[in-house]
Structures are given as structure tokens and as C-alpha cells.
Amino acid sequence: MLRSGGGHGGGHGGGHGGGHGGGHGGGHGGSHAGGGASSLLSDALVYTHDALAGYWDPNGLINTPTSPSQLDSLEYLSPGRRSQVLFGVLAQNFRVCPKPEKGFAAGINLGTTEIFRTSIPDLVFFKSQLKYLHSYAELRADRVPEILVQTEDILSFFGALSHLNKSRRRNSLELLELVQNITIHLEMQVKHYCRMPRPVDYDARIQPMIQTPTHSTFPSGHATESHAVATVLHHLMSSQDVTKGLKNNAMPFRLAHRIAVNRTVAGVHFPADSATGAAMGISIGNAIIALCENSKPTCLSLCDANNWLLDVESGDFTPQAFAKGITPTKGAKTQAEPLLHALWARAKGEWKDYTPAQGAGK
Amino acid sequence: MSGLGWTDWDAKTTITIPPYQDWWSRIEKEAFTIPSNGFLSDKSDVYQFSNFSFNFANAAKREPQTRGEITAATESQFSQPSAIPLAMRMLNRGFENDETRSWMPDKDNLPTIDNDTVIVGVIDSGISFAQNRFRYCNGKTRVLAAWQQNADFAGQTYLPFGKELYQQDINDLIKTHSGGAQNGHLDEDAFNRDAGIVDMQNFTGHREAAGRYSHGTSVLDLAAGYAPQTAPENIRIIVVNLPTHIAFGYSGTFLDYFMYLAMQRIKDLTIAIWNKNNKEENPEGGYPLVINLSYGKQAGSKSDLDWFAAKIKGMKEESAHADVPFEVVMPAGNDNQKRGRAVVDLESDKPKTLNWHILPEDQTSNYVEIWCTVKGTTPKPGKPVPLAISLRDSNAPQQGLVDGFISLNQDGKAIARVYCSVKSISDQEYRVRYILCTAPTLRHNLDLAVAPSGVWEITLQNKNGAAIQAFCTIQTDQSLLPNSKTGQRSFFDMPDYKRYDSQGRMIDSAAYGDLVAAEDEASMVTRKGTINASASLKTVNCIAGYQASNGKPALYSASGFGAVRAPGYIPQPTVALPTDDSAALFGILTAGARNGSRVAMRGTSFAAPQYARILSAKLAHNGSQLQCDFANVKIPEANSVKIGAHRLEIKVSSAVKR
């Protein structure tokens, strides 16, 4: 008897900025002890069962499995299913909504705390940013490999900052994948409420070197995701909070900045998109840390409507101006989420043999 | 083509500004203006001719460090510019036109250094001078001064344009961007923006040092980069960052003037620093100075008649501090194989034709210079010269008139010009120069003149009794943006010029063992004489390149004149340094744009600073083991037309094995 076997497998892949990548990998089908599912294997198992199981009485000698507790860790699940559960847990804590009555385009709430909100620059402002599309384009030849890889994968770059992959620090990697996935789901809603045209819509001479995505230019998805990941990774590596990390220009933030700027080089974002995206990403990263630690999230106050966290003189997205422009405040204590606490504890434990340099992260 | 025809030589049709400037103002200028439908609304980034010409005409008479003659005067050919284009944001509009005033900073800005210091001056583009290789262990800079020619004018009233940083300014900036510690971790991006090395805002701003490769940083590292732990106290640096390519013009017209100002300023700063530290005790002394300038041009007189060469000569002859060692180092050039040079031997009256092949889709103008030496009295303006010429014209060659020009017009617009001028050498000898200019072959503004691509025949005829030898060179051709491919280089296209030998290997101006065959001297087109026109002076060290693994002169390294006759000094390379590690290992390793990075860079631009390093180390009595002579090593002899006197190599104790 042939059964249709095999998994649904795979992830969501490309399309979104950064993509979903490995987090959902493994799919629904799952693998057998020695390899993947197939109709041949299932057939073989049918024959083997016929040969070995023989006649057995369900009321006879059987094992007594322990009844697992409900709220322990999710270690018993495959990575894909574990991600799905944790994603659901995380997602129910956040809410994105438009806030026109308050004069803002969109905000993100964590429980009762508003962790982020933004208004939108006008067309005239974006026009004034076009000169950066011109000057950053000169770096295109230099940045081709990074830009192309980063259309689908930014985690590999963070993975280069320390030993971080499925074999080493598996839980940290799962956590960061989760951070990226939830960030995408939040950022896409914010983008919709902040919908603004892309650079290519302003002038035929921009000619981006990659396909312009369909979603809003503002805020930048790459900036949001890279800064969310940087925030959580930096906290894992150093236990430092984000303001210290930004002030010291710690390596995860340096990388996040470069990933963001590469999108301007590529011709698909303005510097303002990256600055607001970075602020949003850090807010989301902090919120996730708070949920994981069961503490109060550090919120970044609103983007300054005057300079959008950009350099006051030049209007460019620079680490100095950005670090200066944000003002952290503390939100309300988060709801307890034991499943997240468990993941966090496992992830944090993977760094106990890691001692960051003084002036951590430099 | 309809409406296409040459004008005639006419004694009343003359120009009063140099030919390149004339062509620039007719054809190239609109590339410098910002289109009204563009998104650059900042008018301060628009290029205009400045009001001033930076003259320094009478260098020998000039009081040291003063401005010399700065006028808006007209000039004769072969000499000073009438103006150079500058973005308005760079220009000091209040620069006082007073030749007796100093253009040096207040001496409080100048550092105190030891008397045995040797100064290395590097003039280049994208020099990222805060890298560790240019600092000591305590984090302090080895750079004494840095003139950022491309930066916005910052109120330094003694400077004609740009801004200048001094040792203390650089140290302060380093500290600011290193979290308050002198030797902390430097935020290079922030430093570079603050210092005016990188400018992402302005259309005409520098971006090079934001990338991975930066010509100037690589050159500075080779010339004067040392690990902080072993950096000598007595070798210091002065840097000039030139403006972006757009300022040079398509033909490198204005490059000479920026280079000259940079050199003069470095020399004057060196004297000013000496005077601050030593004026009373030793007014005639000074710090030995080695200046590296990894730039050049293809066409020119290739003798000390060249404007830039004459200026260097003048600088070397300046009476003040005449005994202090002063060396200039420049590259031989990389255009050996570009088919940009031809020598036409003309018997009386027998015309010869040279094919000048202009490429399609070329968005820049093309130029050829033709020089010859004639015995006799120099003809006056409006009088004919003995070398007759025609360009893309079925009519017989005509004798040009001194200071005159002819124009190929299409529908009333000039698409090509031939300019004629003379320069007297003595009362019995003079040189004739023709400059041929053609418009781009592709332009996006359809209202502008476009020249047809393809072969333009240059026909020359000798109307003199005695034989004439005409030297033809295609001028430097570059795009306005550094990495752009829109400037297609033209070449001389003659069927008897062979690029490859029967085994498929490239031919060179001279043989090398049995690896490289020599060119056939029968063709008019030649590799000989492709040497850098700006470096063709006896007193300039002109450095060629070779492959380190086997001593083979680099195929691209420009050749000296060889046995071809030319008046006075015959340009040859001085010496050669490695520009490729081996056939498989491209280039040589040097600093990349980013602190701590290494990149492989190829070209004679990177041979020259190695020689500057050798010279400065010798002058500083520092590491005489730096050089070794290949004479003792068993490799084939190489011809002096390629390598000059000999090949050198800098031996390091722990070279990286690639």
C-alpha cells in the first residue's frame, strides 16, 4: 500500500525583507530516525510491523509513560512546532494600531504599555532625502554580495559575531529567529499604516540594484529587524541594555546599522526609513527581552518629529545622531510568559562561558 | 552628414585662453551644472569658475609662503590657467588678492617637531588618515597637516578653498570619536565625515573612503604607513586630499593646478613649521621633504616645457632653503598597452595618415596632442607653422596659424576643433603643438553637439625643408564619476601595430628574456613614450612597476622614450618597484579604506609610494636595510626603457605569504 507521505515542509522564504528562513524549517512532515519520510519507507514500516508486532492484547503488558506537565519547556517539540507555539505566545502580547486621533500614524502596544509610535514625514521631506540615494549609490559596486545575501538572510551576518548556529547556541539562534519573525509581523502592519512611496517612485534615475518590494518605504524592514536582533543579541552577549550598547557602538549595532544603510545603497530606502525602523526594532527587541525576563520593558520615546533621529545638519542616518536622539523610558511590567522564560533561560545559559571585553561588545 | 564642414584657418580667429579651457567652456561645462529638473536644490554645490587664478608665476622671486600673483589675468598658451572650477561651497570668496600676504596658518596651529624629522607629503584622493598605520601607540597622529581641498570652506581666511586640519585638530577629532580616549576604538565613519574625508551629502563630495578600496589610503600606507609599535618618531606626514574627479575635467585639464597648489602648499607648510621651530638658529635649514603624487596625464610636451613640470622645476629652484633635500615621486603610468602614442616621421612634403579610433557610447570628449620640434625662428601669432594637418577631411592638410584654430561644425555647433600654438625653445628652435578635440559620441541632452564615432583620420604633412618627427599622444580620458565606465578611451588604430605575439602573449616596448617580445618599430603606433607627461622631468622620480616573482616589467607599466629623438631630456622611468606579487597574485598588499583591512592594489600608482618610502627612510637614517637591488639576483636583464636604472624591492622582516 502506498501512502502519500512526506511533509509540507519548507519555510515561507524570500519576499519579505529578511525572509523567514530557518525558523519554520522542518515543516509539518517531520523526519524519521534515519531519514526523511517517504511512501517507500511507510510501505516498509507496514511490512515490518506485520512481521514483528504479531498479535498483542491492548490490555496486556504495556509501558506506563509519565504524564508530562503542561507548562514546562517546549523541548519536546520539533524546532518548527516550537517556533510556532512561541510565536503565538509572543504575538498575543503585542498589538499594532493606527492612532490618527492622537496625530500619529501607528503605534505598537505591549500589554498596556505603548512601546513605540511614529508619525510619517511628508513628501517634501522625502524629496530632500533623495540626494542620499544619489551619493550612496556610489557604494553599490562595493556592496553587491552583502546586499544580495541580505535580501533573504541577515542572521548569517549576526552569526559571524560569535559562535552561533544550530550546533552551537541553538537556543539563542531559535530565539533570534523568533525575534526576527515577530518583528516582521509587527513591522508589516506599521508599514501599512505609514504607507509612503519608495525612492524609485520619485525619479527614474534611481534605478535600484534589487527589486523594490511592494510595501511602504517607511519604516525600513531591514533596519527594524536588524536592530531588533541586535538588541536581543547584545543583551545575551553582554547583559547590557541597548542604550549602553548604542553609546559604545557595540558590534551588533554596528552591523545593524550597516545592514540598514545597505538598503539606501541599493536604492530602495531613504535614511529616514532606517532611522525610524531602527527605533522600532530596538523597541520590539526590548519588549521581547522584558517578556522573556518578566520585567519592565525599556521603551524608546517617540521619534523626534523635527529631525526623525537623523543628523541635524546633514539629515543622514548616523550612529551618533541616532544614539543621541533616543530617550529611553520604562514601561509597565509585562505579563508572565513561562514558555518564553524557559527559552530565555536556555539561551542565556549558552553564554555563560562568554566574557565580553570591557566596554562590552566593542 | 548635412551641415558638416570645417572652418578655415584665419589669422583673425584666435583664442586667448588655453585650448583645453576653451573646449571645456564650449562642450564640457554643462556637465558641471546641476539640471533644473534634478533633485539637488543646494546651489552651493554648483561648480563655477572661481574668480581667482592661482598663479604663483614667479616662484623664484616669491617670498616664501606668500600667495604670489593671484590674478584673473589672461595668459598665453602653455602657462597658467585663467581659472579653475570649484564648487561654491569650497571657495573662500574673501580670499585676498594680495601677493605679499602669507597663505600659512598662524604658527600656533603648527606643531613642534624635532629637527631631524623627515616629512612625507602625499597628495591623493580619499586618504583616510586616521588609521592606526598613521598613528603612534598613544593614539596620536603622525600627520602634521591635512588640506582637504574638497571640503566646505571653514572660515580659514588664509586658505583659497577647502579646509585644513593640523596635528592638534586631528588628535582632538580622534579623541572625540574614540569615546574620549586618545587611543580608544575609533569610530572611523564619524571621523571621516567630520574631517571632510567622506561627504555623503554633496553631489561633488568624496565617497571613496566609505568603500572598501581607496586609492589615497593605499598610497599613504605604502609611503609612510607603519605599525604604531614601530613607527619612527622622525618620519611625519602632510596630506592633501584632492577634489573629486569632476573638478579635474574630462581631460584632466585642471588636475595640474590642484596638484601644483597641493605641492606648493606642502612645501610652504614644511618651511613654516621649520621657521616656527628654528627660525633664529638656522633660517636656511629645513626638514627633508619627499612628496608622492600618484597621478599623471598622457599627453603633454613630456619635457620641462610642460606647465606642471615647469612648476616643479621652479619649486626645486626656489632659493630659500635650497640645500634642503626635496624629492618628488610620481608613477610612470599604466597606459603602456592602450595604443595612445604614435611617432610619425615626415619627410618633406610626403603626407602620412594616422587613424584615430573614437568609440561609440563615449560620454566624454577625446583629445590628441601632436608635438614636433622645428629649427628656425619662432613664428608670430597668426603666422603659419611648417607642420600641416587635416582631421577627418578629404582636403589636403593645411598649415595651422599660431594661436588659431579651426572648427568642424555641424548645424552651427562645434563637434571638433584643432588648435595650433608654438613655444620658443631658443632663437633657433621652437616647438609646434596641435591639440585636437572631439565631442562625446553619446549625450543624453539631445540639443547638444555629438561627434560621430569611428575612425577619424589625422593626416600630417611636412612643409619644412628638413625632416620633422611628430609625436602624437591621446590625452587622459576619464569619466566624471570615479567608477564610471562612461568615458571610453580612444586609440590609434593602425593595421601594422601588433598587440600579441605568435604565441598569444602581449608584446611590450622591450623584450624580457624569452617571456616577452619587443614591439616592431616599423609601426607608427608605439608603446615607447607612453610615460606620464606630468612626471617627465629629470628632477622628478618617475617610478615603473614590475612583477616581484620574476622581475618581469609590468606589461601595463608605461615606457620611456627609448631611442626616439627628442630635445633635451629624454624621459625614462627612474627605477621600478613591485606592482604585482606574481602572475597569479594580482597587485601588492596595502591598506584598504577601512582601518585594519588589507587589499591588493595594482598599478604604478603603488610603485611610486614605495620609492617615497625608501627615500624618506634614507633621509631619516632609518632602516637602510629597506631596499635591496635586484642586480645580484639571477633574473633576466630588463630594459631601462621599462625599469629605468634598476629594480628595487623593500625587504620586510615578516612579509605576508599570499
Among the listed residues A266, A107, A130, the one whose alpha carbon sits nearest the alpha carbon of residue A194: A107
Write down the pLDDT at residue B581. 93
Instruction: Mark yes or no for CB contact B189/A359 under 8 Å.
Output: no
A228 vs A253: CA distance, rounded Å: 10
Grid-cell match 637591488, residue found: B629
B258 vs B247: CA distance, rounded Å: 9
**C-alpha grid cell for residue B137?**
601607540
Write down the pLDDT at residue A260. 98
User: Measured between CA atoms, how close is B335 to chain A, in angstroms?
Assistant: 24
**Distance between start and end Cα atoms, chain A:** 61
Instruction: Mark yes or no for CB contact B185/A141 under 8 Å.
Output: no
Nearest-CB residue to B201 (from A131, A248, A362): A131
User: What is the interface size between A and B, counted as CB pairs within 8 Å?
Assistant: 54
Contact B291, B328 (CB under 8 A): yes
Grid-cell match 618633406, residue found: B348
**B435, containing H or E segment:** strand B429-438
Nearest-CB residue to B201 (from A127, A141, A314): A314
Task: Say which residues have a Cβ less than 8 Å from residue B609's Cβ, sequence separation at least 6.
Answer: B122, B219, B220, B222, B223, B224, B292, B294, B329
Question: Which of B34, B36, B39, B191 is the mutation pick for testing A, counting most A CBs within 10 A?
Answer: B39
Alpha helices, H only, B202-279: 215-224, 255-278
> How many residues are present in chain A?
362
Name which residue leads in pLDDT, B255 or A156: A156
- Residue A66 carries which DSSP code? -
Average pLDDT, chain A: 85
Q: Does A9 score more than 50 pLDDT?
A: no
Write down the pLDDT at residue A251. 92
Diameter of chain B measured on Cα atoms:
76
Quick one: residue A305, left, alpha or beta (phi over 0 = left, psi -120 to 50 = alpha)? alpha
Question: Which of B152, B193, B200 is the mutation pick for testing A, counting most A CBs within 10 A?
Answer: B200
Q: How confident is the model at residue A4 (pLDDT cuts 50, 70, 90)?
A: very low
Angle at B312 between CA B306 and CA B318, to 5 degrees: 135
* Crossing angle for the helix pair A79-91 and A170-193, to the nearest 10 degrees: 40
**C-alpha grid cell for residue B403?**
594661436
Residue ranges of chain B whose pLDDT lies below 70? 1-3, 29-85, 96-100, 304, 319-320, 477-486, 563-569, 622-634, 652-656
Instruction: Mark yes or no for CB contact A131/B482 under 8 Å.
Output: no
Grid-cell match 606643531, residue found: B111
Task: Say which residues have a Cβ less than 8 Å from residue B572's Cβ, sequence separation at least 6.
Answer: B531, B542, B560, B561, B640, B641, B644
Helices H / strands E in chain A, number of each: 12, 5
The verdict on ipTM greater than 0.90 is no
Q: Quick check: B210 contacting A, CB < 8 Å? A: yes
Q: Quick check: B592 contacting A, CB < 8 Å? A: no
Number of Cα atoms under 13 Å in the Cβ half of residue A108: 34
Determine the residue type at B230.
Answer: T
Least confident of A91-95, A133-137, B17-21: B17-21
Name which residue leads in pLDDT, A23 or B62: B62
Write down the pLDDT at residue B75. 29
Q: How confident is the model at residue A301 (pLDDT cuts 50, 70, 90)?
A: low
Instruction: Mark yes or no for CB contact B200/A136 under 8 Å.
Output: yes
**B321, containing H or E segment:** none
Number of Cα atoms under 13 Å in the Cβ half of residue B649: 21
Write down the pLDDT at residue B299. 85
Q: Quick check: B40 contacting A, CB < 8 Å? A: yes
Among the listed residues B207, B437, B427, the one whose alpha carbon sits nearest the alpha carbon of residue B299: B437
Q: Give chain A's radius of gyration (CA, Å).
A: 23
Least confident of A76-85, A238-247, B450-459, B495-504: A238-247
Instruction: Mark yes or no for CB contact B483/A202 under 8 Å.
Output: no
**C-alpha grid cell for residue A354?**
562568554
Partners of residue B483 in chain A, C-beta under 8 Å? 138, 141
**C-alpha grid cell for residue B335?**
597606459
B142 vs B132: CA distance, rounded Å: 10
Going from the C-alpha of A315 to that of each of A128, A129, A194, B164, B200, the distances in angstroms are 9, 7, 20, 24, 10
Strands B118-124 and B235-241: parallel
B559 vs A198: CA distance, rounded Å: 52
User: Measured between CA atoms, how close is B481 to chain A, in angstroms?
Assistant: 9
Instruction: Mark yes or no for CB contact B203/A131 under 8 Å.
Output: yes
Partners of residue B244 in chain A, C-beta under 8 Å? none
pLDDT in tens, A31-59: 899 889 999 999 999 999 988 887 777 77
Among the listed residues B640, B562, B24, the one whose alpha carbon sits nearest the alpha carbon of residue B341: B562
Instruction: Mark yes or no for CB contact A318/B190 under 8 Å.
Output: yes
**C-alpha grid cell for residue B505?**
602573449
Partners of residue B190 in chain A, C-beta under 8 Å? 318-320
Going from the C-alpha of B371 to that of each of B182, B396, B561, the distances in angstroms are 55, 20, 14
Name which residue leads in pLDDT, A71 or A251: A251
Task: Say which residues have a Cβ less than 8 Å from residue A38's Cβ, sequence separation at least 6.
Answer: A5, A6
Among the listed residues B552, B542, B615, the one whose alpha carbon sits nearest the alpha carbon of residue B579: B552
**C-alpha grid cell for residue B580?**
604585482
